Amino acid sequence: MSVVTLEIDGKVCTGVSGETVFDVAWNNGVKIPRLCHIGGLPNIGACRLCLVEVEGQKKLLPACITPVQEGMVVRTWSEKLIAHRRLIVELLFAERNHVCSVCVVNRNCELQDLAVELGLDHIRLRYQFPKLVADTSHERFGLDHNRCVLCTRCVRVCDEVEGAHTWDVSRRGALSQIIADLGEPWGESDTCTSCGKCVQVCPTGALFEKGKAVSEMRKDRGFLKYIVTAREKGQWIR
Amino acid sequence: MTVEELFDQQAAEVERQNALENRIYCCTAAGCVSCGSEAVRKAIGEEIKSQGLTGKVEVCGTGCMGLCSKGPLVRTSKDDALYGGVDVSNAAALVSAPETLAPLRIDTSAPFFIKQKKIVLGNSGRVDPEKIMDYIAAGGYQALARACTELGPAGTLDEVKKSGLRGRGGAGYPTGLKWELVARQPGDVKYVVCNADEGDPGAFMDRSVLEGDPHRVLEGMAIAAYAVGAQQGYIYVRGEYALAIQRLQLAIRQAERERLLGNRILDSAFQFRVDLRIGAGAFVCGEETALLASIEGRRGQPRPRPPYPPEAGLWGKPTLINNVETFANIPPLIQNGGEWFASTGTATSKGTKVFALAGKIANTGLIEVPMGTPLREILFDIGGGVPGGLEFKAAQTGGPSGGCIPAEFLDTPVDYESLARIGSIMGSGGLIVMDSSSCMVDVARFFMEFCMDESCGKCIPCRAGTVQMHDILLRMTKGEASSRDMAILEELCTLLRETSLCGLGQTAPNPVVSTLRYFRPEYEMHIRDHRCPAGLCEMKGNEGGAR
Ligand SMILES: Cc1cc2nc3c(=O)[nH]c(=O)nc-3n(C[C@H](O)[C@H](O)[C@H](O)COP(=O)(O)O)c2cc1C
Ligand code: SF4
Ligand code: SF4
Ligand code: FES
């Protein structure tokens, strides 16, 4: 492991080779937006919110999967990037039915935070109003497809950390949907261990604990890191 | 078989064929089958029997002969002529006296034939795809023999590099460089994959090659495997291509039996197996990383690159992926050498390209031309121009990832760079002609609908962006869009191009961008005047889209 020095938004930063631009930026106080990435899970580079400009590269690169290199010059908040991110978040709000005022995680939602951070105060795109349902068949949890942004954090945490692989994605494009097992109601899933990890990593109110009223649910954002540290280092520390 | 046996068998089969009084080639590719060529073939077979000519006259089915609009097509060796629009009543004459069918004879000195140059389709229509001996008689597997005995892996690679061949799957990446990347990787386990997913709407080039000359593709793959050091190959072919799958299975079995695939190929230490993997009809599975995921049995979704497949492909091993047409170019290239190949085409685009002509054009079908042929020659000399007295409006290349080329650029040479310069792409070979009755907004909407339906849904810009773009385009064709929608549409074009994860999303805006570039007034008329100049879109309060 060698130390790598690079420039992020005009600031000289250091990281370790093998680390991603995303991690090094955050460690150095530059907060790059993200949705599909969450520390402790394999990265898939899917949401495209963490795209950054790297000098000498024609294409925008996803920070969450781009390793740092010596002498790299990175820009994370250019006007172009902000415009792209705002439009991506706008697309998400128009895609499904995100009604914050009736959501359990209102004021504790990563999607909402992104909108605030990017100054997105209205939606110009046509709302698609898809007819989606909520699966409340599980004893303790629920899945409301209206609020799902298809980040697949739940799929990955269930497969990679819990080892159950209850969740997966069915169909494609705008019709994609998270399903339990082969499309069973969650409550009837044979593989679900009811561990609740998916609920904690879900960035929105799509996966929620039952029995919570509007704005009452707080997701434990440090939880995954806690488990991964415990597993990798044998230390149960927060 | 050994190399000597290969040459002996070739000589014997050629002699046998030459001794026949007449060998009748009946096109049994999709176009001709749809107008009854199977019945013609059967009738000819019965005629041979009833005229007592068994052993003297022979009938065989072949791949596409090109002029699909004149089907069913039949070629006779007796008078070396091509007949079109034949039916069962012509069978007797075709067997013993084809010259009496003069009215059906097709003039093969017409521009349609002489302006073409057939390398990839060289055997198509001339060999029976179900008989390996036909392929061997045509010189088949001799390129593999040359690679294994004369050139060696490095020499083979050199020929491909010298040839300047570029990938025919769309992006045009230099094939020699790709092979070299795979060859240089350490390790014994490597894979060669043939991309036969052909998903562009209206494209059937790869299908034709697979149905008409499957051994060509197998030989190309075997040469590639030899050059890069792979022992296992996969052909990822879409499930809709039932005949291609059947022919490939047969061809693989035949080649294995003759020791041209499998263990101890041509009695050497080289071994290479080929297996088929059947796609389930997702366009995105043609994207290389999605294709690999699908072969591995996972959900067919792209992943970010790097790493590229030559470094980490199937099961993390170095993998070479090429298109069907790319592989089909390899045997003649190796047989005749890289310099021979490079003598056709332009400075940066070598060889020929197969196109599927479709839309408002007289000679729909499959053609092959040298790179650099002007579009005008392809469409008017070979394609026969726009029928029905209407005016040429635009040509669309590259399908949902491509663009529209207006009349003013008809003299553009068709090569990778020239097409890119005018906002289109070479693509895989779809070439759709539009006349003045086509509405460009509707064309853009059609391709956007395709991308929307085919988006895998992994990344947000493509999954949700194509929906919004289609929504706007649809409203434009109904006269319900505003100039604000137009501005958002252009914003979305930029977003998808710059931020989508894979080529599908990155190129999905191309049909919109290119029609906006050349036909912006048409968009404005839809928005401002609620009028469709082509008279195609039905507008609210302006029913029938009156001119
Ligand atoms: C959405 C999408 C669809 C594609 N479909 C095909 C296809 O059907 N056939 C093909 O050969 N290449 C297709 N490609 C290109 C492949 O990813 C890859 O570049 C190609 O197979 C490489 O072969 P080549 O170098 O011989 O062109 C597609 C790419 C994208 C982004
Ligand atoms: S349910 Fe939550 S974690 Fe799972 S894909 Fe949807 S938004 Fe992401
Ligand atoms: S661009 Fe479209 S097809 Fe490609 S990964 Fe993204 S959603 Fe899937
Ligand atoms: S956080 Fe990097 S692409 Fe989603």
Residue B542: pLDDT band by 50, 70, 90 thresholds?
A: low
Report the residue of A79, A98, A172 to disrupt the B interface, i.e. the one with the largest count of B CBs within 10 Å: A172
Distant-in-sequence contacts of A155-160, Cβ < 8 A, 24+ apart: A156/A41, A156/A42, A156/A44, A157/A41, A157/A197, A157/A198, A157/A201, A157/A224, A158/A197, A158/A198, A160/A41, A160/A42
Instruction: Tell me the count of A-B CB pairs closer than 8 A.
Output: 91
Give a yes or no: residue B307 inside a domain.
Answer: yes
Please tell me whether residues B418 and B467 are part of one structural domain.
Answer: no
Distance CA B66, CA B205 (A): 11
Please tell me whether residues B160 and B260 are part of one structural domain.
Answer: yes
What residues of B are in the A interface, CB distance below 8 Å?
282, 284, 299, 303-304, 452-461, 463-468, 471, 484, 488, 491-492, 495, 498-501
Assess whether the C-beta atom of A202 lies below 6 angstroms from ligand 2: yes
Give a yes or no: residue B448 inside a domain.
Answer: yes
pTM (2 d.p.)? 0.95
Name the pairing type of β-strands A3-8 and A73-75: parallel
**pLDDT score, position B250:** 98
Q: A115-158: per-residue pLDDT in tens?
A: 999 999 999 999 999 999 999 999 999 999 999 999 999 999 99
Give a yes or no: residue B285 inside a domain.
Answer: yes
Q: B237-268: per-residue pLDDT in tens?
A: 999 999 999 999 999 999 999 999 999 999 99
Give a yes or no: residue B205 inside a domain.
Answer: yes
Residue B545: pLDDT band by 50, 70, 90 thresholds?
A: very low
Please tell me whether residues B319 and B397 are part of one structural domain.
Answer: no
Please tell me whether residues B168 and B311 are part of one structural domain.
Answer: yes
Average pLDDT score over chain B:
95
Domain containing residue B382: 352-435
**Which of B132, B155, B173 is a domain's end point?**
B132
Q: B173-226: per-residue pLDDT in tens?
A: 999 999 999 999 999 999 999 999 999 888 899 999 999 999 999 999 999 999
Exposure letters A199-216 (e unless 16+ CB within 10 A, then b)? bbbbbbbbbbbeeeeebe
Q: Which of A237, A194, A219, A236 is nearest to A106 (CA)?
A: A219
Please tell me whether residues B246 and B322 are part of one structural domain.
Answer: yes
> At residue B309, what are phi and psi to the nearest 5 degrees?
-55, -35
End-to-end CA distance of chain A: 26
Please tell me whether residues B199 and B298 are part of one structural domain.
Answer: yes
So what's the ipTM on this one? 0.96
Please tell me whether residues B389 and B478 are part of one structural domain.
Answer: no
Please tell me whether residues B14 and B58 are part of one structural domain.
Answer: yes
Which of A45-49, B304-308, B364-368 is the least confident region?
Answer: B364-368
Chain B residues touching A128 at Cβ < 8 A: 467, 471
Instruction: Test A150 with B488 for CB contact under 8 angstroms.
Output: no
Place of tokens 């036969």: B196
> At residue B80, what are phi and psi to the nearest 5 degrees?
45, 55
Strand, helix or coil for residue A199: helix
Q: What is the CATH number of the domain that holds B128?
A: 3.40.30.10
Chain A residues touching B484 at Cβ < 8 A: 124
Please tell me whether the peptide bond between A203 and the residue prior to it is cis, using omega within 30 degrees of 0: no
- Whether B145 shows a pLDDT value over 90: the answer reads yes
Residue A220: pLDDT band by 50, 70, 90 thresholds?
A: confident
Give a yes or no: residue B187 inside a domain.
Answer: yes
Percent of chain B scored above 70 by pLDDT?
99
Please tell me whether residues B41 and B125 are part of one structural domain.
Answer: yes
Distance CA A180, CA A192 (A): 8
Q: B226-238: per-residue pLDDT in tens?
A: 999 999 999 999 9
**Which of B342, B364, B398 is a domain's end point?**
B342
**pLDDT score, position B68:** 85
Q: What is the CATH number of the domain that holds B360?
A: 3.10.20.600
**pLDDT score, position B541:** 58
**pLDDT score, position B281:** 87
Which of A156-170, A185-199, B42-56, B532-546 is the least confident region?
Answer: B532-546
Please tell me whether residues B313 and B411 are part of one structural domain.
Answer: no
| B543, B462 Cβ separation under 8 angstroms | no
**pLDDT score, position B29:** 87
Please tell me whether residues B152 and B107 are part of one structural domain.
Answer: no
Q: A57-71: per-residue pLDDT in tens?
A: 999 999 999 999 999
SS3 content of chain A, % helix, strand, coil (to 5): 30, 15, 55
Q: Which ligand approaches the C-alpha of residue A46 most closely?
A: 4
Give a yes or no: residue B287 inside a domain.
Answer: yes
Place of tokens 């650099």: B372
Please tell me whether residues B46 and B178 are part of one structural domain.
Answer: no
- Whether A96 shows a pLDDT value over 50: the answer reads yes
Q: B56-110: per-residue pLDDT in tens?
A: 999 999 999 988 888 899 999 999 999 999 999 999 999 999 999 999 999 999 9
Q: B453-510: per-residue pLDDT in tens?
A: 999 999 999 999 999 999 999 999 999 999 999 999 999 999 999 999 999 999 999 9
Domain count, chain B: 4
| A10, A29 Cβ separation under 8 angstroms | no
**Which of B311, B342, B373 is a domain's end point?**
B342
- Domains of chain A are 3-77 (3.10.20.740), 102-233 (3.30.70.20)
Chain B residues touching A175 at Cβ < 8 A: 457
Give a yes or no: residue B375 inside a domain.
Answer: yes
Give a yes or no: residue B39 inside a domain.
Answer: yes
CA of B290, closest CA in chain A: separation in Å? 13
- Whether B289 shows a pLDDT value over 50: the answer reads yes
**pLDDT score, position B74:** 96
Q: What is the CATH number of the domain that holds B498?
A: 1.20.1440.230
- Stretch B24-31: mean pLDDT: 91
Q: B148-184: per-residue pLDDT in tens?
A: 999 999 999 999 999 999 999 988 999 999 999 999 9
